[in-house]
Amino acid sequence: MWRQALSIGVATGTYGVSFGALSVAAGLTLAQTCVLSLLMFSGGSQFAFAGVVGAGGGGAAATATAALLGVRNGFYGLQMSPHLGRQGWRRPVAAHLTIDESTAVGTVQLAQHPGRDDLVRLGFWATGGAVFAFWNLATLGGGMLGNALGDPRRFGLDAAAAAAYLALLWPRLRAARPMTVAAAAALVALGVTPVVPAGVPVLAAAVTAVVLGWRDDAPATAEPVGTD
Amino acid sequence: MSGWVAVLAACAACFGIKLLGFLARPHWLEGERVRRVSGLVTIALLSALLAVQAVADGKQLTLDARAPAVAVAGVLLWRRAPFVVVIVAASAVAAGLRLAAA
């Protein structure tokens, strides 16, 4: 389990380098970039925050987008907390480490060894801890690299940011419904881009998802949380 | 909102949401619809961020070196390439196209 946690940590480290470089390219300082990784600690939200800032969006739009992308972590918490036990002061730390990877490993243990909450706890804490360590070190390295590179466009870092969003989106597109929503969201965002302030197109796309998802009468095919 | 205020507010919001999942257990959060909509919002946000980052330039839409770079990234993801390969390839395609056009 420790080896698995370590390899997941190293793998997310490569995201961390990208985030660090893209965040300073978007105009955040190295300190702000590192604080995002330390305190926000949720890759999707961090990429989104930097992306909205880089597009010229205001702090409020960037904050709203990051928070909306972080909502899934709340659901992960709902799912994980009964198995992590009553832990007093450890609970806020566990909440902080609740991300895609730690929840995924925890739920895999849950499925493979029902009733063995000790294994769920080990998987969750080992993965969350390893990702936290590598993510923050990689962010610092990536941020320094980004500062050293200078003009982000010359090195194609703006295209790299788009590729990062695509990579985050990719594993979630396994069914027809998500693909429809993704296409509609992109169309709405681009459609309103010429007429609204930067940052708002992305939030408009979120509203699109709520409207489409609310009236969805398809049979319950909600995928188990954390498999991506 | 200034830079630091936004950074700290966003961090607080994201942590608060995580903590809420551990502390609260309101029954309306456990409904199928809330969970489904939440998953779709994540997808919509990522897709919109991708679209804007790929073709928007301020308030204008433009096809430049970014679009082919994203297409290459898509092919690599389809071929199950690792994240870092996808990112480096996308940067290289965009940088190369700009160099060639300059």
Q: Is A91 on the interface with B (CB under 8 A)?
A: yes
Q: How far is B63 from chain A (nearest CA, A)?
A: 12
A positions 107-136 inside 8 Å of B (CB): none
d(CA A12, CA A44): 12
Q: Which residue did the predictor score with more confidence, A197 or A28? A: A28
For residue A62, give the nearest of B6, B30, B70 by CB distance.
B6
What's the predicted TM-score (pTM) here?
Answer: 0.83
Q: Is B101 exposed, middle or buried (0-12, 13-18, 19+ CB in 10 A)?
A: exposed
Quick check: A209 and B43 CB within 8 A? yes
Question: What residues of chain A lie within 8 A of the CB of B35, using their CB?
Answer: 75, 222, 225
Cα B87 to Cα A42, A47, A166, B62: the distances in Å are 19, 13, 10, 21
| pLDDT higher than 60, residue A91 | yes
Q: Supply the pLDDT for residue B102.
A: 80
Q: What's the rounded mean pLDDT across residues A131-148? A: 95
Compute the mean pLDDT over every residue in chain A, rounded to the nearest whole number.
89
Q: How far is A195 from chain B (nearest CA, A)?
A: 7
Q: Supply the pLDDT for residue B1.
A: 61
| pLDDT higher than 90, residue A150 | no
Q: Which of A34-48, A129-143, A161-175, B30-44 has the lowest mean pLDDT?
A: B30-44
Question: What residues of chain B lie within 8 A of the CB of A212, using their CB?
Answer: 40
Q: Which residue did the predictor score with more confidence, B92 or A88? A: B92
What's the per-residue H, E or C state across B45-90?
A: HHHHHHHHHHHEECCEECCCCHHHHHHHHHHHHHCCCCHHHHHHHH
* Shortest CA distance from A169: residue in chain B: B46
d(CA A80, CA B84): 29
| pLDDT higher than 50, residue B23 | yes
Domain boundaries, chain A: 2-170
* Shortest CA distance from B4: residue in chain A: A32
Q: What's the rounded mean pLDDT across residues B48-53? A: 93
Read off the DSSP letter of residue A113: S
Question: What residues of chain A lie within 8 A of the CB of B62, using their CB?
Answer: none
